[in-house]
Amino acid sequence: MTFNPLRERGIPLDKQLRNWRELNVTPIDPDHADPYTRCRIIAMNGIEVEAVMFSHQMARHCPDTEIKQQLARVRYIEAQQQKAVNWLLPGLASVLETTLAYEQVAVDLTAWVARMEPDPYLQQAYQFGVLEDFDHLYRYANLYEMIEHRKAEKVVDQLTEVMPGRPTIMHHRDPVDNVREPYDRATVDPLSKLHALTIMSAEQQTMNFYMNVGPEYMEPIARRLYQEIGLIEEEHVTHYESLVDPGETWWEMLLNHEYNECYLYHSFMETETDPKVKAIWELHLNMELEHLRLAAEMFNKHDTRDVAEVVSPKLPKPVTFEPNKEYVRDLIATQIDYTTIGTGYVQEAHERFEKFQEQIHGGEQPPSEAVIEENKAKSGEEYRLETEGPHPVERLRLS
Ligand SMILES: [Fe+2]
Ligand SMILES: [Fe+2]
Ligand SMILES: [Fe+2]
Ligand SMILES: [Fe+2]
């Protein structure tokens, strides 16, 4: 069955406003929910946050009051959607448990996107990034065991492995080296544009989350680890946002955003295991179809091209949360020692990298290393979840 989001009819905009009762969603059960349901919620929250912030940016660059009013109407609905989605998370989970789930999203969503990405340069960008968030999961899992005396498999289940990736200490690069080359909007596969927007939004939300929750902890090691990884998420946002062609017009960007929302709600509706959550994906899809229609209308009015030149009439294969264990293991085995230089990649440390490393570490061990040692001292051994055998890199195996 082909689903053409440009043809489907959604809910008229003036029927989309929800009252307090309708916004008051029932959260998922923290002990029995499918971990990938939680991942879909976190990913979709990142998409809605981006929808709201992008629309604000567009409004701030828009001199036309009528267009601003139209943006404000749709944006208010996006803001309600963000509330409905993010409030599916149960208040019972600790900040650190939610953090583990954020990194699980980063691992399994980025790995899926890397597997599906048709362009080799863009694919390399996702492969490079996924090994870093994979390592963050391991660092936070050790913090979790140390200060909450629980194991990360309580959150990630057996779906995502927890072990060293590219060590976090190596993620601190000169900011210049975090900027990638953009795709060309005229020739790129439409799927690549959706991928870039999705991962950029997810990383941006992770960055925002860490910058806000990091100081909520009292334990010095926790406060420090959030600072360190929060700064890497800043690098990741720079890395992924620079993949998007900056030559896209505001109308084109708006169209891409609404289209991507349709794509992801449709994907999650197709793959959701929790019927109550699925009903929300379906409702929001029906709202987004109308947002997309309105964005296309604006595009037709203000851009010279045809909508079909920018977005595809057929949705790609659904974005699916599923284990990517072998894929990630292969990347660890082959790309663990990669770093970036300019807009490319190298396997050896270079001068600018080493200079930055020297400055940021100041001759001391960073929190991401300290957390492993401190947990070893406290719990007897470091925390790992290696379900598929020993670590693929020999020097990173447990002795
Ligand atoms: Fe939305
Ligand atoms: Fe991360
Ligand atoms: Fe990240
Ligand atoms: Fe939307």
Pick from 398, 384, 396: nearest CA to 170: 396
* Residues 27/90, Cβ–Cβ less than 8 Å: yes
How remote is the CA of residue 2 from the centroid of ligand 2, in Å? Answer: 35
Q: Return the ∠ at Cα 106 (arms to 150 and 352), rounded to 5°.
A: 110
Where does the pLDDT of residue 137 fall: very low under 50, low under 70, confident under 90, or very high at 90 and above? Answer: very high
Ligand nearest, relative to CA of residue 49 = 1
Residue with tokens 């409004």: 59
Per residue in 57-97, pLDDT (tens digit) is: 999 999 999 999 999 999 999 999 999 999 999 988 999 99
Per residue in 3-27, pLDDT (tens digit) is: 899 999 999 999 999 999 999 999 9
Considering the chain, what percentage of its residues have pLDDT values greater than 70? 100
* Residues 289/77, Cβ–Cβ less than 8 Å: no
pLDDT recorded at residue 1? 56
Ligand nearest, relative to CA of residue 265 = 1
CB hemisphere CA count around 24 (13 angstroms): 3
How remote is the CA of residue 202 from the centroid of ligand 2, in Å? Answer: 10
Ligand nearest, relative to CA of residue 46 = 1
pLDDT recorded at residue 347? 96
Considering the chain, what percentage of its residues have pLDDT values greater than 90? 97
Instruction: Give kind and range of the element (H or E) at residue 200.
Output: helix 190-213
* Residues 166/137, Cβ–Cβ less than 8 Å: no
Ligand nearest, relative to CA of residue 210 = 2
Ligand nearest, relative to CA of residue 48 = 1
Per residue in 148-203, pLDDT (tens digit) is: 999 999 999 999 999 999 999 999 999 999 999 999 999 999 999 999 999 999 99
Alpha helices in 274-393 (DSSP H): 275-302, 325-335, 351-361, 367-379
Q: Using alpha carbons only, how large is the chain's radius of gyration in Å?
A: 21
Q: Return the ∠ at Cα 210 (arms to 204 and 212), rounded to 5°.
A: 105
How remote is the CA of residue 387 from the centroid of ligand 2, in Å? Answer: 21
Q: Any residues with CB less than 8 A from the CB of 391 and at least 6 apart, and which?
A: 163, 164, 332, 397, 398
How remote is the CA of residue 87 from the centroid of ligand 4, in Å? Answer: 18
Per residue in 278-310, pLDDT (tens digit) is: 999 999 999 999 999 999 999 999 998 999 999
Ligand nearest, relative to CA of residue 137 = 2
How far is 348 from 222, CA to CA, in rounded Å? 31
Per residue in 323-376, pLDDT (tens digit) is: 999 999 999 999 999 999 999 999 989 999 999 999 999 999 999 999 999 999
* Residues 163/391, Cβ–Cβ less than 8 Å: yes
pLDDT recorded at residue 316? 96
Phi, psi torsion values for 340, nearest 5 degrees: -110, 150
- Write out the DSSP string of 89-105: S-TTS-HHHHHHHHHHH
pLDDT recorded at residue 31? 82
Is the confidence at residue 229, as pLDDT, over 60? yes
Residue with tokens 């002990």: 31
How far is 113 from 123, CA to CA, in rounded Å? 8
Is the confidence at residue 2, as pLDDT, over 80? no
Where does the pLDDT of residue 273 fall: very low under 50, low under 70, confident under 90, or very high at 90 and above? Answer: very high
Report the chain's mean pLDDT, rounded to a whole number: 97
Where does the pLDDT of residue 399 fall: very low under 50, low under 70, confident under 90, or very high at 90 and above? Answer: confident
